[in-house]
């Protein structure tokens, strides 16, 4: 099941890449630009075929994709001078900007469709409840057993089972601290060291019941362990409710993404900390970490609604982040190329005010050192995140 989760994530990632490139491709064709290549991946070509003037293919490394449009910048001359009228640079600025922005637009559209479909089909999760779902029968003897939800023959009974907790119980307080969400419950559990005595109050059959409980610990996992899981309730939304939920989710992910990127430099030293999950480094992850989270969720004992919701929201969040990041006004991102076009138009406007001719295209060669430097920074941060997610993956605490 863990492998299935990885496959789901990788396929979703490739689909996202293809949609991004399709956005560029479709609008470029629409405006009459000459597109010579449409490829998924980088590196050696595995397969390709020609359809008209365009070569379609798959590369060996599935880490992105590209569309080759003739005359993308001042350094890109058409192989055939007769193609100059169809070159990207020969078209109006507004058409070029739309072609460049189309990739991110496809990411945003995919994310909104996924979230909208989730709200209409599966429902919106109500996390503001503390009703218990599955009760683990044991304390996992290792982190692997915890991730897989398995119990060995020598595994001790879980604190939840020993305390007599049942699926359907609604927790109202832990160790005397009232709770109304699972986030609050997790915080209250973490405040009690493993092995110490505590109490948990639940509403059962309309009555409040207080039970003694002694939190345990799982080797290699931060925080106390009870062996409880939430019974997340899902409510199918109306079309208007789904639209509202999609917009709200989009805004929240966009804001969270900006905060995560801003916090990344400060989080770097904490990526390899033992308590990474409880630091700012627990809020950032690479595609490896996202794939690992997808695999773990699919392999978990959570209900099907929770699994689908988790996977779809993760894929939607990834697309929102990539779409927004790609629009940053920095080369070699699409947003950087848009910024160059805007710069060209402002420069042309100023020239007209002075009665001078249009200076034309910006010399992209002047931007190459900055572009290359930014590329190295992106590669550095990406590799560090991937390495951290391999050697020090994020492990959730609580429960």
DSSP single-letter state for residue 157? B
The first and second tokens of residue 128, run together, are: 């503001």
Cβ-based neighbours of 69, under 8 Å, separated by 6 or more: 24, 28, 33, 34, 35, 36, 88, 99
Buried b (16+ CB within 10 A) or exposed e, 348-358: beeeeeeeeee
In whole angstroms, what separates CA 314 from the centre of its chain?
5
Q: Report the alpha-carbon distance of residue 285 to residue 299 in Å, rounded.
A: 20
Assign residue 376 a region: left if phi > 0, alpha if psi is -120 to 50, beta otherwise? alpha
The first and second tokens of residue 272, run together, are: 């390899």
Positive/negative CA dihedral, 71, 76, 82, 83: negative
The first and second tokens of residue 368, run together, are: 């190459």
Whether the ω angle into residue 332 lies within 30 degrees of 0, i.e. cis, is: yes
Cβ-based neighbours of 60, under 8 Å, separated by 6 or more: 41, 42, 43, 44, 45, 46
- Which contacts of 211-217 are long-range, i.e. CB under 8 A and separated by 24 or more positions? 211/163, 211/164, 211/165, 212/163, 213/159, 213/160, 213/162, 213/163, 213/165, 214/159, 214/162, 215/159, 215/189, 216/139, 216/156, 216/158, 216/159
Element (H, E) at 348: helix 334-353
The first and second tokens of residue 339, run together, are: 């910024």
CB 126: neighbour CB atoms within 10 A?
12
DSSP single-letter state for residue 150? -
Which residue from 40, 34, 33, 47 is spatially nearest to 17, judged by alpha carbons? Answer: 40
Q: Would you name the residues annotated as active-site residues?
A: 21
């Amino acid at each position: 099941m863990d492998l299935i989760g990885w496959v789901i994530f990788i396929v979703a990632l490739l689909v996202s890449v293809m949609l991004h490139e399709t956005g560029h491709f479709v609008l470029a064709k629409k405006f009459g630009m000459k597109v010579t290549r449409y490829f998924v991946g980088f590196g050696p070509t595995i397969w390709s075929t020609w359809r008209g003037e365009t070569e379609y293919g798959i590369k060996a490394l599935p880490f992105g994709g590209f569309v080759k449009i003739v005359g993308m910048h001042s350094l890109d001359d058409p192989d055939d001078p007769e193609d100059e009228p169809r070159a990207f640079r020969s078209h109006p600025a507004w058409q070029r900007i739309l072609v460049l922005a189309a990739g991110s637009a496809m990411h945003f559209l995919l994310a909104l469709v996924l979230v909208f479909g989730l709200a209409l089909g599966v429902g919106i999760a109500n996390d503001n409840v503390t009703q218990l779902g599955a009760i683990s029968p044991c304390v996992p003897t290792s982190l692997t057993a915890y991730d897989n939800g398995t119990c060995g023959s020598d595994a001790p009974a879980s604190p939840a089972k020993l305390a007599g907790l049942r699926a359907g119980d609604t927790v109202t307080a832990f160790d005397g601290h009232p709770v109304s969400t699972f986030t609050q419950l997790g915080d209250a559990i973490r405040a009690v060291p493993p092995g110490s005595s505590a109490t948990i109050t639940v509403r059962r059959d309309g009555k409040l019941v207080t039970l003694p409980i002694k939190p345990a610990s799982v080797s290699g996992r931060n925080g106390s362990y009870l062996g409880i899981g939430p019974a997340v309730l899902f409510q199918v939304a109306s079309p208007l409710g789904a639209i509202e939920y999609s917009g709200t989710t989009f805004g929240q992910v966009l804001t969270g993404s900006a905060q995560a990127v801003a916090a990344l430099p400060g989080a770097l030293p904490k990526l390899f900390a033992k308590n990474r999950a409880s630091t700012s480094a627990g809020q950032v992850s690479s595609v490896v970490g996202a794939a690992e989270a997808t695999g773990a969720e699919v392999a978990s004992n959570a209900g099907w609604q929770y699994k689908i919701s988790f996977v779809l929201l993760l894929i939607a969040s990834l697309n929102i982040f990539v779409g927004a990041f790609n629009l940053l006004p920095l080369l070699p991102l699409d947003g950087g190329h848009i910024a160059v076009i805007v710069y060209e138009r402002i420069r042309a406007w100023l020239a007209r005010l002075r009665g001078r001719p249009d200076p034309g295209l910006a010399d992209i060669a002047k931007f190459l050192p900055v572009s290359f430097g930014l590329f190295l920074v992106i590669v550095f941060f990406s590799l560090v995140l991937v390495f951290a997610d391999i050697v020090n993956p994020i492990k959730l605490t609580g429960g």
